[in-house]
């Protein structure tokens, strides 16, 4: 039986394949050639295409996952849906289909601290990554700090693309830290430029009518709320804090 060794492909040929855009590693390529039937070049080409497509998908997912800045979080299989006194689980599971993203709609996850809003938002991001979407997750405070430190209008415009271009943007923890009028203007900029085109998920402990308390004196808050709320799915969560519950379960020393 004839086999193909690693020396079958020369460095010049490998360089040529790289120049054409091949991303498959040398070891993976040699392994593919070693398993190929030399009597069936069609099967070899089909295997090469499949392996290269898988490699590109893996690299694309890795790059999008890095850009998403999700951090660590609990996946949905670890969520106790019986813990909240109130939550629209059916709506959340419908949102996991990501149809709202294709329609440019928004999501508001609202409830007191510690009830799982962030975890639910992160799992929406995970679903987006698995569907091939560009995703970005950030606390609102971190996003605003990132934008406010830009020292020129061109630099700010470039940095805004981090928050305008993703298919799905999550801004976590609106209402936990106060902000100034310039911060409100930046948030309005993001929301207005994504309006009816790209989806935003916001988590908060505040009703819409209290968002002005986060940005005291900002003139744009009303318009900001109007644009975000126009096409928005709202999930209100009533529950005791998961963190307090976990703390009470710890044995006392």
In terms of residue numbers, what domain contains 15?
6-68
| 60 located within any domain | yes
Residues 136 and 177 in one domain: yes
Residues 128 and 41 in one domain: no
220-239 pLDDT, tens digit per residue, is: 999 999 999 999 999 999 99
155 vs 61, residue with greater confidence: 155
Residues 50 and 165 in one domain: no
Which of 41-55, 161-175, 192-206 is predicted least confidently? 41-55
Residues 90 and 56 in one domain: no
Residues 158 and 226 in one domain: yes
Could you give the residue ranges of the DSSP H alpha helices within the chain?
Answer: 11-19, 26-35, 41-68, 89-95, 99-102, 117-130, 140-148, 153-164, 181-194, 221-230, 242-249
Residues 95 and 214 in one domain: yes
Residues 143 and 222 in one domain: yes
Cα Rg of the chain (Å, integer): 24
- Which one of 25, 47, 68 terminates a domain? 68
Residue 243 pLDDT class (50, 70, 90 cuts):
low
Q: What is the CATH number of the domain that holds 165?
A: 3.40.50.300
137 vs 26, residue with greater confidence: 137
Residues 83 and 170 in one domain: yes
Residues 146 and 242 in one domain: yes
Residues 149 and 236 in one domain: yes
7-19 pLDDT, tens digit per residue, is: 456 777 677 777 7
Number of domains the chain is built from: 2
Provide the pLDDT for residue 153: 96
| 1 located within any domain | no
Residues 57 and 180 in one domain: no
- Which one of 43, 68, 93 terminates a domain? 68
Tokens of 203: 């988590």
- Which one of 49, 68, 87 terminates a domain? 68
Q: Is 86 helix (H, G, I), strand (E, B) or coil?
A: strand
Cβ neighbours for 93, distance < 8 A, ≥ 6 positions apart: none
In angstroms, the CA 2 to CA 34 distance is 10
**Mean per-residue pLDDT, 196-211:** 97
Which of 76-80, 100-104, 108-112 is predicted least confidently? 76-80
| 125 located within any domain | yes
- pTM of the full predicted structure? 0.79
Residues 55 and 141 in one domain: no
């Amino acid at each position: 039986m004839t086999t193909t060794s690693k020396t079958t492909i020369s460095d010049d040929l490998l360089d040529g394949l790289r120049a054409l855009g091949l991303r498959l590693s040398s070891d993976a390529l040699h392994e593919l050639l070693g398993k190929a039937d030399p009597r069936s070049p069609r099967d070899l080409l089909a295997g090469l295409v499949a392996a290269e497509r898988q490699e590109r998908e893996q690299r694309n997912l890795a790059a999008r996952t890095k850009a998403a800045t999700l951090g660590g979080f609990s996946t949905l299989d670890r969520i106790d849906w019986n813990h909240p006194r109130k939550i629209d689980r059916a709506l959340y599971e419908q949102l996991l289909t990501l149809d709202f993203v294709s329609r440019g709609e928004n999501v508001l996850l609202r409830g007191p601290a510690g009830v799982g809003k962030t975890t639910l938002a992160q799992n929406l991001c995970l679903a987006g990554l698995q569907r091939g979407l560009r995703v970005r997750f950030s606390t609102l405070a971190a996003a605003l700090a990132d934008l406010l430190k830009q020292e020129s209008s061109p630099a700010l415009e470039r940095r805004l693309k981090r928050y305008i271009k993703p298919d799905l943007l999550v801004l976590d923890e609106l209402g936990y830290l106060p902000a100034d009028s310039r911060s409100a203007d930046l948030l309005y900029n993001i929301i207005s430029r994504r309006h009816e085109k790209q989806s935003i998920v916001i988590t908060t402990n505040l009703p819409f009518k209290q968002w002005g308390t986060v940005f005291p004196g900002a003139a744009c808050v009303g318009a900001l709320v109007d644009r975000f709320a126009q096409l928005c799915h709202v999930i209100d969560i009533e529950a005791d804090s998961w963190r307090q519950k976990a703390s009470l379960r710890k044995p006392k020393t």
